[in-house]
Amino acid sequence: MRDEDALARFAVDESGLGRFPPEAAVLPETAEEVAHVLEVAAAHGVPVTPRGTGTGMTGGALPVRGGIVLCTERMTKIRELDVDELIAVVEPGVVTGALQAEVEAAGLFYPPDPASLASCSLGGNVAENAGGPRAFKYGTTREYVLGLDVALMGGERFSCGRRTMKGVTGYDVTAAIVGSEGTFAVATAITLRLLPRPAAVGTLLATFVDAITAGTAVGAILRRGLRPCALELLDRATIEHMRGRGRRLPARAAALLLVEVDGPAESIEAEVERAGGACEEAGALEVVVARSDQERRELWETRRLVNPTLRDTHRRKIPEDIVVPRKAIPEMLRRVDAISAETRIPTATYGHAGDGNLHVNLLVDEPDAEIADRLGRAMDAIMRATLELGGTLAGEHGVGLLKMKYLPWEQSPQLLRVQRELKRVFDPRDLLNPGKILPPA
């Protein structure tokens, strides 16, 4: 399609980084069509930006050099669900939540659960190596991708990986493509590893006087040897935004930990009690256990609505996605408060505390021109603090455009060189999702 109105939705994503209209968007339905687009575009030297459903938060799907957006949203078949081998084969446009529903109906489990699972697609999850709350216990998308069918810029196609549980044949090209943010290849089919569905889950909500104390409770839970499937933190600003949205949350809460455990039915209650005990020991004001599926669903709905709520209530929000060692969470939260006070940029911090993965959101209502300097200083300071505390700059949202400038802050020139060469192996003319991840040499 080339119509300007129809193209408008392909000019943006959820990063809020601006509008980058492509010249054309192509919505293939088969692997052959994907390869054909890549072949024709390469022949004419036209850039191609792959796109799933556009829920990315660092600008990975923005066609910054124009050209073609290759959107896989019409490739929505679950081709295979093998309950004996615990494998699913899907097309890249399958929505993550739709696969989960199908898999769970068969008594199986696909753990990766990005907050946007109702709308994000597995192709996008593969490109970004998406995580989510359950990554704490179960790992991120990469742990579940056994194999890929891909097409390269130029139209060449190959399969990599395997359908077996083990396999070390050759370099792990599959793992390299997962998380390459659509800069190496376009996946046309994804072979996923599944698990048996856990028999039971237990969920609790612990209330704290502040996020720093809640951060301390994360350490207390880990020291008890517990492995919840989710350990989520919400700070005061996040809670206030959610209350403003009409979500019911404990009255005294100035910070919350949402903890979920899963496993055999007979052990769940004891696990919930141990997790609650650890929170109390760390100073929780109150621990409330979800008593029904409905209560549990409401808690998770509140959690998943955080990102859209922050986005809807501010002119712009910059979603940081840092990771620090878990013992450094309280110190990182202290530093975020100090940076916010110094730059006068309000923040709301929440995220996957079990992984040390914090979404520090910078909330912007003033016009960019008035605030650009303070915003830049706040972002720089958050990145610097993360690295000083032994962390990494991107946990699960990718580098995209948003973090490109900061990559050399974390990674050595040697490592950047190796990554540039790797990119050249897959895409020597820099036509596939150009202008992402690696800053110009």
The contact set with ligand MLT (CB under 6 A) reads 57, 115, 306-307, 319, 351, 359, 396
Q: Which is nearer to ligand MLT, 13 or 271 (CB)?
A: 13
Return the number of the residue (134 or 359) whose C-beta is nearest ligand MLT: 359
Distance in Å, CB of 338 to ligand MLT, minimum = 22
Q: 335: closest CA among 378, 292, 304?
A: 378
Least separation in angstroms between CB 18 and ligand MLT: 18
Give me the least distance between CB of 311 and ligand MLT, in Å please. 8
- Answer for the pair 389, 381: CB distance below 8 angstroms, yes or no: no
Cβ contact 212:333 at 8 Å: yes
CA R_g for the chain: 22
Phi, psi of 325 (to 5 degrees): -55, 145
Write the DSSP string, 286-325.
EEEE--SHHHHHHHHHHHHTHHHHHHHTSSEEEE-BEE--
CB of 396 to ligand MLT, least distance (A): 6
Task: Put the strands of the sheet holding 24-26 in their side by side order.
Answer: 24-26, 68-71, 48-51
Nearer to ligand MLT, 116 or 188 (CB): 116
36 vs 316 by CB, closer to ligand MLT: 316
Nearest approach in angstroms of CB 320 to ligand MLT is 9
Q: Which residues pair with 361 in a beta bridge?
A: 319, 348
Q: How far is the CB of 205 from ligand MLT (least distance, A)?
A: 17
Sign of CA dihedral 363, 366, 369, 370: negative
Query: With respect to ligand MLT, which residue has the nearer C-beta, 178 or 230?
Result: 230
With CA atoms as reference, report the closest residue to 411 among 393, 426, 386. Answer: 393
CB nearer ligand MLT, residue 317 or residue 335: 317
